[in-house]
Amino acid sequence: MLRIKALTAAALVMVTAACAEDTAEPQRATPSFAKPPITVGFLNPNGGPVPQPGTDTGVKAALKYVNTELGGINGHPLEVVYCDTDTTPEKAQSCANTFVEKKVVAVMDGYNLSSSATLPALTAAQIPLVGMIPFDSVTGAKAENRVFFAAPQASFLVGALQAFKTAGKTSVTLALVDTPSSHQTIDNLLPVLAKTLGITAKGIYFSPTNPNFTAVASTIAQDKPDVGGLVASPSEAVCTALVKALRQLQYKGDIFTAACTDYIKAGPAQAAGGALYSSNWLPVAAKYVPAELQRELSLATKYIDGVEGGTGGYYAVGEFALLVNFAKAMSSAAETDLTGPGVLKTLKGLKDFPSFLGPRLNCGSATSPNCTTQILLYVVQPDGSAKPVTDTWITPVPQVLAAIPGAV
């Protein structure tokens, strides 16, 4: 249900700093609002061995943008209840219970590896889980009570391998942090994709708590694959360390860094020729962004850079897009649909929806929580910019995705 509070004359937008706290210093929104707030929860993955820095920055930036420039949601200020996660199911479950207690209208997923642990409590309370990419493969396998505005995990791997094959690259060695969900990708998904696409693919793991990137780079380089790197990026520091180690070993293939961008700014010349993917346009690709999306990228950059002590990058832009998509989608809903079930109905009903910095979305698949399968793949240029390898969004082969639960 929608959480409604009595407002003072100068309406306050509360941003709860942590789920364990009952009160927090209110953050004032400009302009003031005449209607009560719409409250959502946020699974903030800033703890544990595989944090996703930047997600909280994106939420804070988007919250300010939605409440100042978009006028909230139909005159209601948007409010966020934060709850920190640490990749463990227990912490995710605890956050879910807090969100149910707080009677949030929806929960925003910040690329959590254990978001599926929230589903029993949220589903029972009719609170939908809303995100960009379901990093938890269990969450991404079904469509019930969840909506994700970007492509499924499989799309990024399929789309990237597809593009590499088209470019004549037929051997790939990719690393992934050693977690239970990673084994679903490396052990089960990668071999099927390699066989289907007609390439040679090898997957390796590294420790989430004590990674040795010199050893990872050595394992990648020894087979001299056409492409070597990461399936997914746990953090910008991981990308920077791996790229440095591969260059020191004089690896000559393409370095694939998943969603990382900070390493490019740290050393553009060293980063040149590397590849990365995304679910939306990124600041590093600003010179190639379509004209109709230039303003959106400028807005995202402005508000993200305006968060004091914040962290930019892929996850900040993604989470910013998530909240903006949510706010714009719900602005078309009737007042009676500003509830958990109403949010789910509204989001599942989106057709040809122009997502923020992303493709047009069609939600409501009976088998997938994702609203698109399209991705972008970039190649880093000598000047440090990231240029898309195609003129439009990459759509992975539907026949391949059809074999993966929840992908389509």
What pLDDT score does 6 carry? 35
- Smallest CA-to-CA distance from 149 within 319, 334, 32 is with 319
Report the relative pairing of strands 78-84 and 38-44 from DSSP bridges. Answer: parallel
Rg (CA), the chain: 20
Residue 235 pLDDT > 80, yes or no?
Answer: no
41-55, pLDDT tens digit by residue? Answer: 999 998 887 788 899
Question: Would you place residue 17 in the very low, low, confident or very high pLDDT band (cuts 50, 70, 90)?
Answer: very low
CA distance 406 to 402: 8
CB atoms within 10 A of CB 335: 12
Tell me the two tokens of residue 354. 């122009």
Same domain, 222 and 120: no
Residue 320 pLDDT > 80, yes or no?
Answer: yes
- Beta-carbon-side half-sphere exposure of residue 397 (alpha carbons within 13 Å): 15
Average pLDDT of the chain to the nearest whole number: 89
Q: What is the domain range of residue 130?
A: 12-151+291-361
Same domain, 267 and 327: no
CA distance 390 to 10: 49
> Is residue 22, in this structure, part of any structural domain at all?
yes
Residue 381 pLDDT > 50, yes or no?
Answer: yes
Question: Would you place residue 186 in the very low, low, confident or very high pLDDT band (cuts 50, 70, 90)?
Answer: confident
- Examine residue 405 and say whether the peptide bond preceding it is cis (omega within 30 degrees of 0): no
Please give the average per-residue pLDDT across 379-404, as a whole number: 90
What pLDDT score does 191 carry? 87
75-98, pLDDT tens digit by residue? Answer: 999 999 999 999 899 999 999 999
Q: Which residues pair with 386 in a beta bridge?
A: 380
139-163, pLDDT tens digit by residue? Answer: 999 999 999 999 998 899 889 998 8
295-317, pLDDT tens digit by residue? Answer: 999 999 999 999 999 999 899 99
Same domain, 73 and 30: yes
Same domain, 271 and 330: no
Q: Give the number of domains in the chain.
A: 2
Same domain, 177 and 213: yes
Amino acid at 384: G
Rounded percentage of the chain residues whose pLDDT exceeds 70: 92
Same domain, 269 and 317: no
What pLDDT score does 25 carry? 35
> Is residue 5, in this structure, part of any structural domain at all?
no
Tell me the two tokens of residue 290. 């379509």
CATH of residue 204 = 3.40.50.2300
Distances (CA, A) of 306 to 61, 65, 74, 303, 322: 7, 11, 25, 5, 18
Residue 27 pLDDT > 50, yes or no?
Answer: no
Residues with Cβ < 8 Å from 35, sequence gap 6 or more? 7, 72, 74, 75, 76, 77
126-137, pLDDT tens digit by residue? Answer: 999 999 999 898
E-only strand ranges, 207-363: 227-230, 254-256, 275-278, 353-354, 360-361
Tell me the two tokens of residue 108. 């925003």
What pLDDT score does 31 carry? 56
